[in-house]
Amino acid sequence: MWPVEYYTRPDGSQPAREWISEQDGSIRASIYARIETLGKEGLILRGNGILVSIIPKRKKKDKFIPGFYELKHRGKKWRLATYFDRKEGRFILLRGWRKHSRIQIEDVDKARELLEEYLVTKEE
């Protein structure tokens, strides 16, 4: 079993949880089903397109971060940025969004900022 948690910001907010709670029942059901499966199967989901590495589109500016993934549902068009903390063996849900365009640099950037915040906060 792979623990899955929401990321809690220093101000106490949980962007992933807040986003999930705003979704309608059908989307929320698909999100929770994937989160549960992530908890059961872990990184094996890399093999079927449910858990996909987030690859920097601007390679000069952004570095590839191992463990930085998006949990996704193509048909329902949602993405949930997730970080696998290899040291703690757990997944951290950072933030989610509905995919409306092919490239989602802004959404990914926001998730990257949250990840950086998580990593810094963890160090302290």
Partner 1 sequence: MNKTPREDLLEDLKDIEFAKLYGAEDAKLDFAITLLKARENANLTQKEFAAKLGISQPYIARLESGEANPTLGTIGSVLATLGLRLVTNTASLTPEPELPVTNLADSAADNEIANQVEDFLRQDQEKVYGNSTCGYISQKPSEQRHIAEPLSAYDIGERDIIGGVVA
Sites of contact with partner 1 (CB under 8 A): 1-6, 8, 14, 17, 20-21, 25-26, 28-30, 32-37, 39-44, 46-55, 57, 64, 66-67, 73-75, 77, 84, 86-90, 93, 99, 102
> How near is the Cβ of 22 to partner 1 at its closest, in Å?
13
**Rounded CA gap, 73 and 83, in Å?**
17
| Comparison of 55 and 120: residue with beta carbon closer to partner 1 | 55
State the nearest-atom distance from the C-beta of 16 to partner 1, in Å.
8
Tokens representing residue 26 in the block: 């059908």
Residue matched to tokens 């990184």: 43
| Residues 6 or more apart in contact with residue 105 via CB below 8 angstroms | 57, 58
Query: Residues of 36-56 as b/e, b for ≥16 C-beta within 10 angstroms?
Result: ebbeebbeebeeeebbeebee
Q: Which is nearer to partner 1, 49 or 116 (CB)?
A: 49
Beta carbon nearer to partner 1, 43 or 110: 43
